[in-house]
A and B are shown apart, each in its own frame.
Chain A
Amino acid sequence: MKPYKLFDAEYKFVSLIWENEPMNSTELVRLSFDRLGWKKSTTYTVLRKLCRRGILQNRDSIVTSLVKREDIQKYESEALVEKNFDGSLPMFLTAFLDEKKLSTKEAEELKQIIEKAAR
């Protein structure tokens, strides 16, 4: 079986359930608010999504996990931010504001400048 891949937030959420299952969904909402800072609607949206993927189960407001911790992997964070879906607001503006990718050479240069100044 191929491992399930989860976002960082989803992983943290499922971790709450591993630690406390079986748990009441109302209790889960409260815990998500305290530990993750989530609104009720966010918690239910994520819960529904994970149930559909067969990772969690919500039966009669009792939430349990269907997958063990070992079978789960986190996404590499680099893979998450698709190239054509990066900029929030105006991407043309981003380009315009000259937020270019820093090349390795440039980064090295800057590092040296910083080190020089520190001395």
Chain B
Amino acid sequence: MNTLQKVFIAVLNMSITASYVAIGIMLIRLLFLRKAPKVFSYALWSAVLIRLVCPVSFSSVFSLLGPVSSRALQGTGALEYVPHDIGFMQVPAINGISSSLPHATEAASVNPMQIVMAVLSVVWLAGIVVLLLYSAISYLTMRNRIRMATLVQDNVFETDRIRTAFLFGLIRPGIYIPVGVRESDLPYILAHERMHIQRRDYLIKPLAFLVLIVHWFNPLMWVSFALMSGDMEMSCDEGVLANMDSDATSSYSTSLLSLAMRRSGLATGSPLAFSESNVKSRIRNVLNYKKPAFWTIILAVVLTASLIVAFTANPKRRQAASTSYLGYATTALMENKTLYVGDNSKVVALIDAMPWPKGTVRSTVELQTAAAPYGLTVNFDLNDDSSIKAQGAISGDAFYRNSIVLFSLIDNVDVINCKIADKTGKYNGASYGFTYTREAANTAVGKDVREFANSQESLRNLLDAVQKLPMSSDTLKPLTG
């Protein structure tokens, strides 16, 4: 898999995590922050931004993502919904949903999912390029239009080629106002734009837009960007009003209105420029604004800060209790216990939570789920035979033991095949293996092996039992065909 696809899958996973965070923030805004100063809603969006750019995060028991998180990649701090090896799965699955994704077919030389991912990642990149180009052109067009703007004072310029006031420039932003702004409106317009400068909003908004471009395929991020922009404007309004007398509110809102009415046609809404958005809700917000009491601010600050932390943290996976027993990651085994062999991601997770003989590497996993008997085939590459050599041949003991454990944890699998492909050359490059049935596994342990999967304790009993089992066949036979 090439780098582009790896990056794309990482972005996809960040996007999914951020979507959950965004939905959470939308709910909190709606339920608790309607009357609160908008600066708190605005601050909350930082959690989405962090989620969109940071593939990894710290784990905390305070995380709010517990109910929705998929498997966390062991030890990396990244949340993974779309498996990074999706292109190489026999039956691709995203969070247990596999029916809609194309399955691997034996006739095709390449897994269709691999092709799908390759195509999607190219489309994703193309979208970014188009949006960046479009943004760059718009930026240059705008720069050209305001180049002739004439100085009013300090960093304020006026021009008749714009309809509304905004900031332009990233290093030393200028305030650009339309020609003919009423004398009485000017102080409020300038106070608003200066508040944007003071709060570094002129840097935050382009940054957020850049991140949005990377996640352009996610409609929830567009909604988030729009809501964030609104919160930014309204909290800026509040910042202006906090510095003014309380009777300034009506003049301030009148100025907002008169500036909005100047725009007779379409509005300029460049993310790189500051302009009016949603004048109506802004005027309502301004009129409802009251300087909040000291203790309300303290409470809101604490609440917002803890929410940001809670949204940024990955859920703690009972990491302390994550135990292993005889080399088996028992916690992971219990978590990925499944009723269906068709649940590819869980089945693969189960296989990878088991100790396999040294010198063997798990390659593909095939699932036979079309009709009963349901089968599972695990393919291995043998790179070094020193640990599983017995009497000049390959010992199958470890594979038999693990097959019994798989029968216990995958409820509906009837047959398990293990295939070991010789890569050492000592066995003529042939494949070795065996087929094991559920009946045989039940007979070996003396009861239905699934009963052992009830708890970690009973699972440990099974692991003990399989270690002591006398193996019927000690060495593996070459597979024919």
Known: A87-B268, A89-B138. A8 touches B260 (CB 8 A): no
Is the beta-carbon distance between B268 and A102 smaller than 8 angstroms?
Answer: no
Assess whether A69 is interfacial by the CB under 8 Å rule.
no
A37: chain B residues at CB < 8 Å are 149-151, 157
Is the beta-carbon distance between A89 and B135 smaller than 8 angstroms?
Answer: yes
B277: chain A residues at CB < 8 Å are 97-99
Stretch from B5-13, B28-36, B110-118, B248-256 at the A interface:
B248-256
How long is the Cα–Cα vector from A43 to B357 in the complex, in angstroms?
Answer: 78
Using a CB-CB cutoff of 8 Å, which residues 75-119 of chain A contact chain B?
Answer: 75, 77-78, 80-81, 83, 86-91, 93-94, 96-102, 106-107, 110-111, 113-115, 117-118
Min C-beta distance of B2 to chain A, whole Å? 30
Assess whether B264 is interfacial by the CB under 8 Å rule.
yes
A sample of 8 cross-chain residue pairs with beta-carbon separation below 8 angstroms, ordered by A number, consists of: A7-B148, A75-B160, A89-B271, A90-B138, A90-B271, A97-B229, A101-B265, A114-B254
Majority-rule SS of B interface residues: mixed
Is the beta-carbon distance between B265 and A9 smaller than 8 angstroms?
Answer: no
Is the beta-carbon distance between A99 and B275 smaller than 8 angstroms?
Answer: yes
Assess whether B199 is interfacial by the CB under 8 Å rule.
no
Assess whether B59 is interfacial by the CB under 8 Å rule.
no
Task: With CB as the reference atom, state the residue of chain B lying closest to A12.
Answer: B150
Assess whether B180 is interfacial by the CB under 8 Å rule.
yes
Assess whether B50 is interfacial by the CB under 8 Å rule.
no
Known: A77-B178, A80-B161. A87 touches B272 (CB 8 A): no
Known: A35-B151, A90-B135, A98-B226. A110 touches B257 (CB 8 A): yes
B222: chain A residues at CB < 8 Å are 96
Assess whether B283 is interfacial by the CB under 8 Å rule.
yes
Is the beta-carbon distance between B250 and A99 smaller than 8 angstroms?
Answer: no
Is the beta-carbon distance between A88 and B148 smaller than 8 angstroms?
Answer: no
A80: chain B residues at CB < 8 Å are 160-161
Assess whether A42 is interfacial by the CB under 8 Å rule.
yes
Stretch from B139-147, B307-315, B438-446, B461-469 at the A interface:
B139-147
Known: A7-B148, A75-B160, A90-B138. A101 touches B226 (CB 8 A): no
Is the beta-carbon distance between A86 and B266 smaller than 8 angstroms?
Answer: yes
Known: A9-B150, A86-B265, A102-B263. 19 other contacts (CB 8 A): A9-B148, A9-B159, A9-B160, A35-B150, A38-B150, A77-B160, A86-B268, A88-B138, A88-B268, A88-B273, A90-B270, A93-B271, A94-B268, A99-B266, A101-B264, A101-B265, A102-B279, A113-B287, A117-B287
Tier of interface size on chain A: 35 or more
Report B's interface with A, CB cutoff 8 A. Answer: 131, 134-135, 138-139, 141-142, 145, 147-151, 157-163, 178-180, 222, 226, 229, 249-250, 253-254, 257, 260-261, 263-273, 275-280, 283-284, 287
Task: With CB as the reference atom, state the residue of chain A lying closest to B257.
Answer: A110
Min C-beta distance of B245 to chain A, whole Å? 13
Q: Identify which of B139, B145, B150 gathers the most chain A CB atoms within 10 Å of its CB.
A: B150
Is the beta-carbon distance between B266 and A98 smaller than 8 angstroms?
Answer: no
Min C-beta distance of A3 to chain B, whole Å? 17
Is the beta-carbon distance between A97 and B269 smaller than 8 angstroms?
Answer: yes
Task: With CB as the reference atom, state the residue of chain B lying closest to A83.
Answer: B265
Contact of B270 among A46, A88, A98, A118 (CB under 8 A): A88
Contact of A42 among B148, B163, B263, B276 (CB under 8 A): B148
Is the beta-carbon distance between B280 and A110 smaller than 8 angstroms?
Answer: yes
Is the beta-carbon distance between A114 and B269 smaller than 8 angstroms?
Answer: no
Is the beta-carbon distance between A94 and B147 smaller than 8 angstroms?
Answer: no
Min C-beta distance of A5 to chain B, whole Å? 12
Is the beta-carbon distance between B283 and A87 smaller than 8 angstroms?
Answer: no
A91: chain B residues at CB < 8 Å are 266, 269
Known: A9-B149, A96-B222, A97-B229. A114 touches B160 (CB 8 A): no
B254: chain A residues at CB < 8 Å are 111, 114
Is the beta-carbon distance between A81 and B265 smaller than 8 angstroms?
Answer: yes
Min C-beta distance of B252 to chain A, whole Å? 10
Is the beta-carbon distance between A87 and B269 smaller than 8 angstroms?
Answer: yes
Assess whether A66 is interfacial by the CB under 8 Å rule.
no
Min C-beta distance of B420 to chain A, whole Å? 56
A99: chain B residues at CB < 8 Å are 266-267, 269, 275-278
Known: A83-B266, A90-B271, A97-B226. A7 touches B138 (CB 8 A): no
Q: Identify which of A7, A12, A37, A88 gathers the most chain B CB atoms within 10 Å of its CB.
A: A88
Contact of B139 among A8, A89, A110, A117 (CB under 8 A): A89
Is the beta-carbon distance between A77 and B276 smaller than 8 angstroms?
Answer: no
How long is the Cα–Cα vector from A80 to B148 in the complex, in angstroms?
Answer: 14
Is the beta-carbon distance between A8 and B151 smaller than 8 angstroms?
Answer: no
Task: With CB as the reference atom, state the residue of chain A lying closest to B276.
Answer: A99
Contact of A87 among B138, B180, B280 (CB under 8 A): B138
